[in-house]
């Protein structure tokens, strides 16, 4: 287990006095490696809070560049970062917050050719992508690589968070569900409005991304009740949180009794990816 330096003891002392974290928990955080998919509205709060918490290795995957209209919600970037690669801007923000962590940037689009290799290098994945094609790819790849996935997505005034770890079993002895147990297939292209058309209230991304970061840290530390088998729904307009139970579907095409998805060969680049207003 990674030992803490005197500088780290000083930096993380509010964690060290937490009964359920302490030095052993902070050492787990230091030794953990988390891959964050997307450095946008969700990925921004995720990477900043993971860095502040002392997660030792943070990988960021994103091939996009910062644009001015990102800044209304993507708090890892500044006005002067316009036209920079998002992974580079987010890396600089992380290191300003905590120079003691290691950041690995992957300025590329995650796809069927690289997903397994990328995901397998990390302990846990946080998906903040903005299109259905990537979400299903990442979920399938995490299942095949046996890596837990903390999933989040945004609507204009709402958000959804869950944890998928189907390589583990629940109290009844069944596998925990995957994304495909909840939604077996992505909706057809064009059915859901594009994110640029419907918009998103900026702070909603912050709330949902912060919840996502919290669930990542809980998984690393083994704290509290996991969101595995549960879907958290945040309604900003009603200021309401709801929890919906979700179960393993034995007929789902990925982790069911007779799976038809056994690799990533079915994933193809989407010509018009739908977006849940990231």
Lowest mean pLDDT among 13-17, 148-152, 161-165, 195-199: 195-199
- Classify 124 as helix, strand or coil: strand
Strand partners, 127: 37, 151
Token digits for 162?
């869950």
Question: Residue 24, exposed/middle/buried by CB under 10 A (0-12, 13-18, 19+)?
Answer: exposed
Could you confirm whether domain 7-245 is CATH 3.40.50.720? yes
Question: Residue 196, exposed/middle/buried by CB under 10 A (0-12, 13-18, 19+)?
Answer: exposed
Domain boundaries, the chain: 7-245
Look at the block and give the residue holding tokens 């992957």. 106
Whether residue 117 is predicted with pLDDT greater than 60 in this model: the reply is yes
pTM of this prediction exceeds 0.85: yes
Phi, psi values for residue 97, rounded to 5°: -75, -45
The whole-number pLDDT of residue 276 equals 36
Strand partners, 219: none
Per-residue model confidence as pLDDT tens digits over 70-81: 999 999 999 999
Contact 115, 91 (CB under 8 A): no
pLDDT (mean) for 246-251:
96
């Amino acid at each position: 287990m990674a030992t803490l330096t005197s500088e780290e003891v000083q930096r993380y002392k509010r964690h060290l006095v937490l009964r359920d974290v302490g030095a052993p928990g902070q050492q787990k955080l230091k030794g953990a490696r988390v891959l964050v998919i997307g450095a946008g509205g969700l990925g921004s709060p995720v990477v900043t809070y993971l860095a502040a918490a002392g997660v030792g290795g943070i990988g960021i995957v994103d091939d996009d560049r910062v644009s001015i209209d990102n800044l209304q919600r993507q708090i890892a970037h500044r006005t002067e970062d316009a036209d920079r690669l998002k992974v580079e801007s987010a890396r600089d923000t992380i290191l300003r917050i905590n120079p003691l962590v290691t950041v690995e940037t992957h300025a590329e689009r995650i796809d069927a050719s690289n997903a397994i290799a990328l995901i397998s290098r990390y302990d846990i994945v946080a998906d903040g992508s903005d299109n259905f094609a990537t979400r299903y790819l990442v979920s399938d790849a995490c299942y095949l690589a046996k890596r837990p996935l903390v999933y989040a997505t945004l609507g204009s005034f709402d958000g959804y968070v869950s944890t998928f770890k189907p390589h583990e079993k629940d109290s009844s002895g069944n596998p925990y569900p995957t994304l495909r147990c909840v939604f077996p297939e992505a909706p057809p292209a064009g059915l859901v409005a594009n994110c640029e058309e419907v918009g998103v209230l900026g702070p909603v991304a912050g709330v949902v991304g912060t919840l996502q970061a919290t669930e990542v840290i809980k998984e690393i530390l083994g704290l509290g009740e996991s969101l595995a088998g549960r879907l958290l729904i945040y309604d900003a307009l009603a200021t309401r949180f709801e929890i919906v139970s979700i179960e393993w579907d034995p007929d789902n095409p990925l982790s069911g009794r007779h799976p038809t998805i056994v690799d990533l060969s079915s994933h193809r680049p989407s010509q018009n990816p739908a977006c849940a207003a990231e």
